[in-house]
Amino acid sequence: MDWEALSLSLRLGLFTILVLLPVGIAVGRWLAFHDFPGKSAIEATAALPLVLPPTVLGYYLLVAFGAASPIGQLWHSAFDRPLVFTFEGLLLASIIFNVPFAVQPIQRGFEAIPREVREAAICCGMTPWKALRTVEIPIAWPGILTGLVLSFSHTLGEFGIVLMVGGSIPTETRTIAIAIYDRVQAFDDRGAATMSALLLGFSLVSIALTFAFSRRIGRRLDRS
Amino acid sequence: MANRISDPLFFLSALFAGLLSVAAAGLPATAATATVAAASDLRFALAEIADNFTARTGHAVRLTFGSSGNFSRQIRQGAPFDLFFSADENYVLGLARDGLTRGTGALYAVGQIVIFVPEGSPLQPDGSLNDLRHALEGGRLRKFAIANPEHAPYGKRAEEALRHEGLWAAIQSRLVLGENVSQAAQFAVSGSTDGGIIAYSLVLSPRMARRGRYALIPEALHSPLRQRVVLLKNAGLAAERLYDFLRTVPAKSILERYGFVLPDSGG
């Protein structure tokens, strides 16, 4: 049981949803409330990581952020560490790769808010922030939570990207998924089995939670 | 409407950038830790050496195992390793030529390959590969594991040995490629292959020894596996000490126990 790897994965998931919470709400809300030419293109772009093979994204991240790239070199001179093969690089990859898992459920959550309720908030003279806090989020929260749960559990399962951009460095980029791969190669069947069972259990719990929250999207309004 | 969108978005982008920078400050590797990239044939030997080293000096060692070719590529892309153990010295020499290392490092061992057959396999552990030839000709071979010759030195030597014996063309459709020699060994042991050509150092580990039989493949059948270790540009104190530790008797005896042939001179 590689506790360091588990801790690393949990931290990666946590930071990913910390960033995707505001980003997901901003983008999901914007897509839910506005219709404009090119909206489908934006939605498709946000959904791209769903169908993109992780190694493809990993490849492009290496090209865009690797040591040879301008961004990579800028980062290196600023922080004295490369962007790839570090926790920060993994976090960046994780954020990009989880955009659809965060944005889509949150968008559904905000779409469930009836137009009249939003218009009433505007008529009351609420600022967008107040409307968001007091009117929209109380209705959209199941979608927001679904997005966070999905993003978190998806982060724990990431493999292809982590392998390409991470480098399997213990306490830095060796996530629990990579650790399982490593244990198998080390002929440590027990370690691999323990961690696999743990991840299986965790995935079951998170998918059950996701379904439970999804059922609640829009439900609160039906009661009145 | 446009004004209402732009303010929250700006704020949120700033928050995003802030969080990413905070994460960046997170986990620095200190000079007290050596971050090591090592060829997979060292999986068991180097783990022992590292434990020994940590017990003596208190320095922590972070080990990552994989194929030498893969690490060479990662190092070129800026991977933050301090020390690189390559199963093929050409990777080290290439990095040195491109100014990514401190000198050309040192030859620490010469590796050997074996044919390994798991329990219950129809193959015999025959280092001359004649038994393999008979199995192939008789159509009795299911799957055979080697490391990927493109970036794993042990895979390349396996290919050379198979070519030397005129078996390469015939065995193509039966080959299963491991990403590194450790994965090839895992394939060979798993029972879903009839065996494989892997590293001697891996079969000498107790974890593999009881799961099958092996035979050394004569060095005449392939080019030598000259293994080189080198300190990378930004290596810290712990890595430098580990590099020196390799020259000591305890480290050398561990390498010998795992079947590595030690060079006579310093390299």
Find the domain containing B171 and state its range: 111-221
Instruction: Give, rounded to a whole angstrom, the gap between the first and last alpha carbons of chain B.
Output: 71
Q: Which amino acid is at B18?
A: G
Q: Which of the four pLDDT bands, split at 50, 70 and 90, describes residue B24? A: very low
Pairing of strands B144-147, B195-199: parallel
Residue range(s) defining the domain that contains residue A180? 3-32+52-100+149-215
φ/ψ region of A28 (left if φ > 0, alpha if ψ in -120 to 50, else beta) reads alpha
> Same domain, yes or no, for B199 and B123?
yes
Q: Which residue's entry shows tokens 């059948």?
A: B221
Report yes or no on B17 lying in a domain.
no
Residues B207 and B123 occupy one common structural domain: yes
Q: What is the mean pLDDT of chain B?
A: 89
Q: Say which residue the tokens 């080019």 belong to.
A: B223
Which pLDDT score is estimated for B2?
45
If phi over 0 gives left and psi between -120 and 50 gives alpha, with beta otherwise, what is residue A52? beta
Phi, then psi, of A56 in degrees rounded to 5: -65, -45
**Residue B53 belongs to domain with CATH number:** 3.40.190.10
Looking at the complex, does the CB of residue B70 fall below 8 Å from at least one CB of chain A? no
Task: Write the residue in B9, B19, B182 that is nearest to A185 by C-beta.
Answer: B182
B185 with B59, same domain: the answer is: no
**Residue B1 is assigned to a structural domain of this protein:** no
Q: With an 8 Å Cβ cutoff, is B183 touching chain A?
A: yes
A144 is a domain residue: no
**B103 in the same domain as B57:** yes
**Residue B42 within any structural domain of the chain:** yes
> pLDDT grade, residue B8 (50/70/90)?
low
Q: Is residue A222 part of a domain?
A: no
B104 and B235 belong to one structural domain: yes
Query: What residues are paired with B85 via a beta bridge?
Result: B38, B229
Chain A CB contacts of B20 under 8 Å are 19, 88, 91-92
Q: Which residue has the tokens 């042939």?
A: B261
Asked if the C-beta of B35 comes within 8 angstroms of chain A's C-beta atoms, the answer is yes
Residue B153 shares a structural domain with residue B169? yes
Q: Inspect the interface and report whether the beta carbons of A26 and B207 lie closer than 8 Å.
A: no
Half-sphere exposure of A147 (CA within 13 A, CB side): 33
pTM score above 0.90: no
* Contact B207/A at CB under 8 A: yes
| Domain contains B121 | yes
Going across the sheet that includes B225-231, the strands are B60-66, B33-39, B83-86, B225-231, B106-111
Residue A8 maps to which CATH number?
A: 1.10.3720.10
- CB burial of B153-166 (b: ≥16 within 10 Å; e: otherwise) equals bbbbbbbbbbeebe
| Beta-carbon separation of B77 and A171 below 8 A | no
Domain-located, residue A117 = no
In a domain, B13, yes or no: no
Asked if the model's pLDDT at residue A99 lies above 60, the reply is yes
Look at A185 and B35 and tell me if their CB atoms are within 8 Å.
Answer: no
Instruction: Give the residue, B222 or A187, on which the prediction is more confident.
Output: B222
A111 is written with which tokens?
A: 């779409």
Per-residue pLDDT tens for B216-227? 999 999 999 999
pLDDT surpassing 80 at residue A207: yes
CA A24 to chain centre: 9
Distance, in angstroms, between A223 CA and closest chain B CA? 31
Kindly list the distances between the CA atom of residue A196 and the CA atoms of A86, A152, A176, A183, in Å, as whole numbers in the listed order. 24, 17, 9, 11
Task: Determine the pLDDT at residue B118.
Answer: 94
Tell whether B8 is covered by a domain: no
3-state secondary structure of A58: helix
Q: Does B3 touch chain A (CB under 8 A)?
A: no
Share of residues in chain B with pLDDT > 70 (%): 87
Taking the C-alpha atoms of residue B68 and residue B118, their distance in angstroms, rounded to an integer, is: 26
Same domain, B194 and B153: yes
Residue B177, H or E segment: strand B175-178
Task: Provide DSSP, A166-182.
Answer: T---TTTT--HHHHHHH
Q: How many CA atoms lie within 13 A of B239 on its CB side?
A: 27
Residue B168 lies in a domain: yes
Q: Which two tokens stand for residue A128?
A: 């967008």
- Is B206 part of the contact surface with chain A (CB cutoff 8 Å)? no
**Chain-chain contact of B8 with A129 (C-beta, under 8 angstroms):** yes
Q: What is the mean pLDDT of residues A16-22?
A: 95
Residue B15: the pLDDT is 56
- Cβ contact B48:A51 at 8 Å: no
pLDDT bucket at A169, cuts 50 / 70 / 90: confident
pLDDT in tens, A56-69: 988 898 889 888 88
Let me know whether B100 and B148 are in one domain: no
With CB atoms and an 8 Å threshold, state whether B207 touches A128: no
**Domain co-membership, B217 together with B117:** yes
Interchain CB contact of B76 with A (< 8 Å)? yes
User: Which residues on chain B are in Cβ contact (under 8 Å) with A182?
Assistant: 65
Q: Is residue B27 a part of any domain in this protein?
A: no
Could you give the angle at which helices A176-185 and B181-189 cross, rounded to 10 degrees?
60
Asked whether residue B191 falls in the same domain as residue B127, the answer is yes
Chain position carrying tokens 């050509």: B197
Domain count, chain B: 2
B20:A88 CB<8 A: yes
Q: How many beta-carbon contacts under 8 Å exist across A and B? A: 100
- Closest in A23, A184, A188 to B12, CB measured: A23
Helix (H) or strand (E) holding B227: strand B225-231
Q: Is the CB of residue A184 less than 8 Å away from at least one CB of chain B?
A: yes
Strands B113-118 and B212-216: what pairing?
A: antiparallel
List CB contacts (< 8 A) between B186 and chain A. Answer: 184-185, 187
Query: How many domains does chain A divide into?
Result: 1
Are B47 and B143 part of one and the same domain? no
Measure CA A51 to chain center: 15
**Across the interface, which of A19, A85, A184 has its CB nearest the CB of B80?**
A85
Joined together, the tokens standing for residue A193 give 């089995």
Residue A72: inside a domain: yes
Taking the C-alpha atoms of residue B2 and residue B18, their distance in angstroms, rounded to an integer, is 24
In this prediction, residue B21 carries a pLDDT of 54
Residues in B closer than 8 angstroms to A172, CB to CB, are 27, 29, 35, 62, 80
Burial class (CB in 10 A: 0-12, 13-18, 19+), A220: middle
Mean pLDDT of B2-20: 52
Select from A85, A161, A172, A81 the least CA-distant residue to B77.
A85
pLDDT at B10 over 60: no
Residue bearing the bigger pLDDT, B26 or B199: B199
**So what's the pLDDT on residue A218?**
59
Residue among B24, B64, B182 whose CB faces A168 most closely: B64
Mean pLDDT estimate for chain A: 89
Q: Are residues B231 and B105 in the same domain?
A: yes
> How is residue A136 annotated by DSSP?
I
Beta carbons of B77 and A84 less than 8 Å apart:
yes
